[in-house]
Structure 1
Amino acid sequence: MLYFVLILVLAALGLVVTALITANSLWAWISIGLSVLAGLLLVVDWLRRRAAARAQSPADAEPDGAGDGDGDTAGDEDTGQDAADEPAGEAQTALLPASGELKTVAGDPAEEQTDAADLLVVSALESEVLVVDEYPRYHVGGCTWLESKDTIPLPVKEARDLGFTPCALCTPDATLAAEHRERRKSRK
């Protein structure tokens, strides 16, 4: 739906330009109409997503034994977990892996505190690291946090330029800097 809204907004922009060039107010009114339609579609999409999120929220689930009598709660149906099994106070994100089942994972790991010498080495490297869409950290291949997440390989220099920061679990900066220094020693 968002692509359709984008197309409507671009069409409205084109019509405004046309109205300014031709001095014909009809094009401006059509542009306003398209803009209002795009805004209404955004509101409808927002309301639809909000209703879907409420339907999936474990906080809205009734306690065990209550409800329609089948013993299932809304949280059990959507995630396959009881609401009591979830860690309290941790932000969780629902991910839809390629297999199609819904899993919840805890938030991203802390940021590695990179030594200045390692930072200078890593910022010039073209070694490949892994990132996960919508998460701010980059990782080396064996990171336990990645498990079954869909990853995107990037050169470490590009990942840093895009604003990604190193993961504290797999310490990619320290690992890559040590590998680089080891390769330089073996060449000598």
Structure 2
Amino acid sequence: MLYIVALLVLAALGLLVPALTTDQVYWAWLSVGASAAAALVLVWDWSLRRRRGTAPAAGTTARRADHREDPGGPPADEVGDDTSPDRAVEPDEEDTDAADLLVVADLADEVRVLDERPRYHLAACAWLGGRASLGLPVSEARQLGFTPCAACGPDATLAAKKRGS
């Protein structure tokens, strides 16, 4: 979208030159029209980004983009026991350093994910408990927009395991 806006602004500037050097007013109106079109494209792009939250990174799917916005808790309209496994508060995201992230990004080691939850976990994570989870390679989990669990620290653990082997 930014390229389209840049081209429209350049066209508006290009049309402004003949508007200023000749006595023909329609060049000025064409320049104004190109500027207005650039503004409309910017507003359109802004509304698309706002509708889907934030722009997902390249390679992510719209289905998993929603997980990053998930606050982790139960919906506000559900009332019940907060100690049940399905209502437990989502653990924080692990603070992964850049070196570990580079190692983990290419690993095929399996991590566990829960449907409708934004984190990925190690199989031994205490937060998972008896919840039904799906196994994914850590690189795929990252590509789908999942983030590491702070409770079990999958990125640090898998990076240390990789460095040790």
TM value normalised by structure 2: 0.50
RCO (CA 8 Å, sep 6+): is it higher in 1 or 2?
Answer: 2
TM value normalised by structure 1: 0.44
